Amino acid sequence: MLEELQKVFKAMGQSTRLKILMLAANRTLCVCELEYILGITQSAVSQHLRILKEANLVIETREGQWAFYSLNKKYLEKIAGNIKTIFGEDLIKCSELSEEIKRLEYLEKHPIITCKRPDTPH
């Protein structure tokens, strides 16, 4: 789950790719439309779309020689659920953090670090 989220955040962490996702949420677009709308070259659009496809954030539909791109809304819903799991109360469900969770639980039972925590009374 963490690797998947890292790939998604990396893909979304660039402003042009974020714009493409926002535009693709409204309607299916082809490369030439994105080229015009964003004011960038066809090769730049294609590079951004390749990264977004690798992160599973856009769906490519082909009609003859034309390729159209739309937001992968089902996948984004899944990612939103993963984010909620990681940053919510269901941290225990994140298998990639199993060792870290064990150490956190140990620290809670055996406070070996003496830093002043803001959430404890003085």
pLDDT tens for 19-71 read 999 999 999 999 999 999 999 999 999 999 999 999 999 999 999 999 999 99
- Among 68, 83, 84, smallest CA distance to 12 is for 83
User: Which pLDDT belongs to residue 61?
Assistant: 96
Please indicate whether residue 84 or residue 45 has the higher confidence score (pLDDT): 45
Name, in order, each residue with C-beta under 8 angstroms of 116's C-beta and a sequence gap of 6 or more: 122
Strands of the 58-63 sheet, one edge to the other: 29-30, 66-71, 58-63
pLDDT band at residue 115 under the 50/70/90 scheme: confident
Q: How many CA atoms lie within 13 A of 118 on its CB side?
A: 0
Q: Hey, what CATH topology would domain 1-122 get? A: Arc Repressor Mutant, subunit A (1.10.10)
pLDDT band at residue 90 under the 50/70/90 scheme: low
Q: Report whether pLDDT(87) > 60.
A: yes
